[in-house]
Amino acid sequence: MTGSRTLVLIKPDALKRRLSGEIISRFEHKGLKIIAMKMVKLNKDQAEKHYAVHKGKPFFSDLVSYIISSPIIAMVLEGRECIQVVRNLLGATDGSKAAPGTIRGDYSNGIQYTLVHASDSEESYQHEVSIYFNNQEILDYQIEGENLI
């Protein structure tokens, strides 16, 4: 492994707006490596496990309902300071407050549809990744020149 890892979910609103390619390209242009990726349709149990930290909050059922409303793209990214780099690329959760040039700043104008989820810590990554991928689906490989990034 050549850095830390994070889980990224391209959510239903991004797929419906045909932004998934643009979002993926931003991660690649930043020098992050995709080491796992697939399109999935979550069931309610998976969604509730993913959002378990929000259980009991008034918006929990809305989060679950939305993430299972259509397919999503799940990815594991790897790179130097990956979690922080991805969160910086995404911008503030509330798109109306996200800086221009960030994914949410360029494509979101509110907090209800955030386009992308990304793990916010190593602990979150460890909890979330197993919901979407098994160990055989996460590939360890080298890209020529990746140590230069």
Q: Write out the catalytic residue numbers.
A: 117
Q: Which residues pair with 34 in a beta bridge?
A: 77
Q: What crossing angle do the helices spanning 82-90 and 20-29 adopt, rounded to 10°?
A: 130
Q: Would you give the DSSP letter of residue 99? A: P
